Amino acid sequence: MALVVCKMCKRAFIDEARGKEICPECVARLNELYPVVRNFLRNHDRQIFTTHEVSKILGLNLKDVDGLVAMGLIACQPRGKAPQ
């Protein structure tokens, strides 16, 4: 176990050796946001959005959208790369 600072909310929490940098509270919030973002991206699967655009369109906190990417829940392509 180690004391870790959550990279989302900057609060310190005890990481129970899971190697996560996001606290359980933020993980719970992101897990709720995930279906919203996933559905949005599915409904617009021919378009590519930046995390900034997604947060703006859905009215979400940009940090939360970035957090979903950091958790590996949604894929994020480097800028300027064509979709597969």
- DSSP E strands, the chain: 2-5, 12-15
Q: Which residues, listed in sequence order, are joined to residue 13 by a DSSP beta bridge?
A: 4
Nearer to Zn ion, 28 or 82 (CB): 28
**Does 33 help bind Zn ion (rule: CB under 5 A)?**
no
For Zn ion, which stretch binds (CB under 5 A), given 4-12, 43-51, 56-64, 66-74?
4-12
Q: In degrees rounded to 5, what are phi and psi of residue 31?
A: -65, -30
CA pseudo-torsion sign 13, 11, 74, 78: negative
**Does 30 help bind Zn ion (rule: CB under 5 A)?**
no
Of 6, 30, 68, 74, the one binding Zn ion by CB under 5 A: 6
Task: Give residues in contact with Zn ion (CB under 5 A).
Answer: 6, 8-9, 23, 26
